[in-house]
Structure 1
Amino acid sequence: MTLPFTFGAYVARRFVVSALIMLTALTGLVALFDFIELLRRAATRADAGFAEVSSIALLRVPFVALQVLPFAVLLGGILAFWRLSRSSELVVARSAGISAWGFLAGPVLMAALLGGAATAGLSPLSSIMLARAEQLDALVLRNAPSSTTLAGGRLWLRQGDREIDPNGFAILSGRPVAARDAESIRDGGTFRLEEVSFWRLSSNDRFLGRIEAPRAVLRAGEWVLEGATAFGADRQPQPRRDLAFPTELTPDRIADSFASPDTLSFWSLPEFIEVLDNSGFSSVRHRLHYQSLLSLPVLAVAMALLAAGFSMREARRGGVAGMLGAGVAAGFALFMLDRVTGEFGETGTLPVVLAAWAPAAAGLMCALALLLHLEDG
């Protein structure tokens, strides 16, 4: 038992070192191209200096690392297993009675840990830094107060309304004023609507009342409808007065609903998705992003097994270059599958869970099939 465990730990160490080196190299390469693109955009902005552009590029580095992690695991694994095969260490291990499944347990575990660390640790850091990078990008390179603008026309929200019915809800509609974009909402701390309509409905969609107001202000924990006219179920108007209704919405949450899901922490996504659903916003992008982060450890494991299957061929048997090239091609095929299923998921053509988990599941099954075909015991 000592020899398989020792050799497995040795292979795992070689694998994780190669994966981390490849992650650093790929992140640096992509970040460099990103930095060059930012410099090109800054060339037309007199007030955009080198320091501002460098800050934006550095703030995007964790996001870039999160995106290239699966490829780093694949390429790092190919490099590690190819070196072990070239030095005949894998041949000697198999001659000693150690199967491929025995010494692959360590790399698989390390790949899962890398994916889990990226989801649980790197993703929250990436979301914070990317949000700041987008703010600077919009302010410095686009001369706009925000990178995301609220949709024109009327804004529609849905929230609970338990004053009349314990399971009732309300639908609010109005035109955003004073704060036309996400960042000015955050900066002002309030969110204002004009030409506001407020429909109150029971749990079975029965009409309970309506409120019309020229203005509404979203403050901490409540909507304040100024000069509102309330209509009961009998359609009779009541005198004008200011009304307040409790709400779970905040200016930040409304702003975030129009921002990229990448700027939200993995740990805050479930609660935020629930708020979006209760408020009538579409949460498809956020649910897809959340499921993609959950599937990242499985995708990393699939990449590690693909790397093993395409790089453990003995050098003396020839065809090594072709196998390595096929491994890289398989990785990019999974990337394309991820992009395609993501697009189908956002449009609602595919269920969100299927769209997010299909690339990881397909890669894992292909890798296991390849290893079962190649492993001779």
Structure 2
Amino acid sequence: MPVAVTLSLYIAKQFTLAVLAMVAFLTGLVSLFDFIDLLRRAATRPDVPDSLAVEIAALHLPYFCIDLLPFGVLLGGIVCFWRLTRSSELIVARAAGISAWQFLAAPLACAMGLGLTATTLLSPLSSATYAKAEDLDNAYLRNAGGPLNLSGGQLWLRQADAGLTPGGIAILHARQVMLSHGALDVHGISVFRLDAHDRLLSRIEADEGHLGKRQWVFHGARSIKPDHLPEPIGNATLPTDLTVSRVQESFAAPDTLSVWSLPGFIALLERSGFSAIRHRLHFQELLALPLLAGTMALVSAGFSMRPVRRGGVARMIGSGVAAGFALFTVSKVAEQFGQSGALPPVMAAWAPAAAGLLLAITLLLHLEDG
């Protein structure tokens, strides 16, 4: 028993180091391409410094780490188990009567532990940095309308407003927003209309309104100008390029919310009448990440523990990499079905990992018991 424990700890150490090194390598590689793309976009805007691209790329790093963790586990596991097999360490262990299931328990626990750490600890950091990166991207590099936020049932919107002055800005605040039969209704409305230098020109107050075709419509509105008394203006309109679907898509993206914040935001969306499928799916994917990481660890072991003397090692390792990418493809297809509503979010998130786990166990049974 002490021999098996010592061997398991040794393999777990080698496995964890290989996985962390592979995750760091993949994250660096993806970040390089992300940085190049950000530099290209920043080059089209003379007033945006290159340091902004560096900042946004750095803020993307935790997000990439979580996204690439399953691939890091797969490739790092393949490298680790192949090295241990090539040096005959695993062969000697199995000849000593230690089964593959015994010395794979520790790497499996490490992989699931890394997945659990990413879900519970790295996810809050990733969501915060990704949200900051999206804010910077929206403010300096994109041509989209302005930032839109739903918080506590209240809507905040910033958009262009050239109705009073060129380059003007309108900031809309609604204390309550509801989606009913495809129509977006807002209540408790305040609209602040600013000029290009952020000076307040006027303020519109209304008890209720709705999003019409390319315009906001406010009922029973009152106009308030600096140094003037409120003036009733009846129905008021504010031009906009927003649609109901675009408003919904503009709410906090699932990637900008941590696993701890998602349940509350999902409940808020459903109370407001909006679809929460994307957020439910992302929440389930975060919960399934430890299982997916463990599955990748078993897949890497199944495809890289073939003895070198039997030959065909390169083909087996290539098959392992191909199996990992096939599992990734299946998970992305299931994700698309989940977002469309064709599959429940729970099934779309957990089914690929469960299927990969069954494949890995089958392969290891064949490898161990012949």
TM-score by length of 1: 0.75
Matched, 1:157 2:150: no
User: What letter is aligned with 2:209?
Assistant: V
Report deviation, 1:178: 3.6
CA contact (8 A) 1:196 1:215 kept: no
Q: Distance in 1 between matches of 2:313 and 2:248?
A: 52
In structure 2, how many angstroms separate the alpha carbons of the residues matched to 1:337 and 1:256? 25
Question: CA-atom RMSD, angstroms?
Answer: 3.2
Amino acid at match of 2:253: S
Counterpart check, 1:196 vs 2:209: yes
TM-score, length of structure 2 as denominator length:
0.76
Corresponding position of 1:223: none
> What secondary structure is seen at the aligned counterpart in 2 of 1:356?
helix
Letter in 1 for 2:130: L
Query: 1:251 — aligned with what?
Result: none
Go from structure 1 to structure 2 and tell me whether the alpha carbon gap of 1:193 and 1:137 turns closer, same or farther (over 3 Å shift). Answer: farther
| Aligned CA distance change for structure 1 residues 51 and 291 (closer, same or farther; 3 Å) | same
Aligned to 2:220: 214
Deviation at 1:213, TM superposition (A): 4.8
- For structure 2, the 5+ residue unaligned runs are 150-156, 160-173, 194-203, 211-217, 223-231, 233-246
| d(CA) in 2 for partners of 1:101, 1:266 | 32
TM-superposed CA distance for 1:376, in Å, is 2.5
2:338 equivalent in structure 1: 345
Runs of 4+ in 1 over 4 A off after TM superposition: 147-150, 191-195, 254-257
The question of 1:9 aligning with 2:6 is answered no
CA contact (8 A) 1:179 1:192 kept: no
Give how far 1:362 is off.
Answer: 1.1
Letter in 1 for 2:132: R
Q: Deviations over 1:210-267 (max 9, x none)?
A: xx95359xxxxxxxxxx9xxxxxxxxxxxxxxxxxxxxxxxxxx99971311001110
- What is the CA distance between 1:174 and its match in structure 2? 3.7
- Contact 1:135 1:146 (C-alpha < 8 Å) held by counterparts: no
**Match of 2:196?**
none
What does residue 19 of structure 1 align with? 19
Percent of pairs identical after alignment? Answer: 55
Q: After superposition, where does 1:246-257 map in structure 2 within 5 Å?
A: none
- Paired with 1:303 and 1:278, the residues of 2 have a C-alpha distance of 38
Distance in 2 of aligned mates of 1:53 and 1:319? 45
Query: Secondary structure of the equivalent of 1:335?
Result: helix
The whole-number CA distance in structure 2 between the counterparts of 1:131 and 1:298 is 26
Q: In the alignment, what sits opposite 1:266?
A: 259
Structure 2 residue 118 is matched with structure 1 residue 121: no
Equivalent residue letter for 1:335: F
Mapping of residues 29-44 of structure 1, within 5 Å: 29-44=29-44
**Counterpart of 1:362?**
355
Question: 3-state SS of the aligned residue for 2:260?
Answer: coil
Change (3 A) 1:29 1:108: same
After TM superposition, give the deviation of residue 38 of structure 1 in Å: 0.6
Post-superposition offset of 1:25: 0.5
Secondary structure at 2:258's aligned position in 1? coil
Cα distance between partner residues in 1 of 2:148 and 2:310: 56
1:43 CA drift (Å): 1.2
- The 1-side partners of 2:147 and 2:51 are apart by 20
Give runs of aligned pairs for residues 1-377 of structure 1, distance below 5 A.
Answer: 1-142=1-142, 146=146, 157=178, 173-174=185-186, 178=191, 195-196=208-209, 213-214=219-220, 258-376=251-369
CA distance in 2, matches of 1:273, 1:291: 12
User: For the residues of structure 2 that align with 1:39 and 1:9, how far apart are their CA atoms?
Assistant: 44
Letter paired with 1:133: A
Distance 1:192 1:94 in 2: 77
Distance of 2:98 and 2:282 partners within structure 1: 40
Q: Deviations over 1:125-173 (max 9, x none)?
A: 00000000011111121255646697x9x996169xxxxxxxxxxx981
Conserved? CA contact 1:139–1:145, under 8 Å: no
CA distance in 2, matches of 1:132, 1:328: 34
Q: Structure 1 residues 115, 157: CA separation in 2 closer, same or farther (over 3 Å shift)?
A: same
Cα deviation for residue 179 of structure 1 reads: 7.7
Alignment partner of 2:369: what SS? coil
Work out the CA distance in 1 between the residues paired with 2:192 and 2:262.
24
CA distance in 2, matches of 1:192, 1:78: 63
**2-structure distance, mates of 1:361, 1:136:** 38
**Alpha-carbon shift at residue 196 of structure 1 (Å):** 2.7
Q: Give the drift of 1:192.
A: 7.5
Q: Structure 1's 134 and 172: CA in aligned 2 closer, same or farther, altered over 3 A?
A: closer
Letter of the 2:276 partner, please give it.
S
C-alpha spacing 1:172/1:328, structure 2 compared with 1 (3 Å)? closer
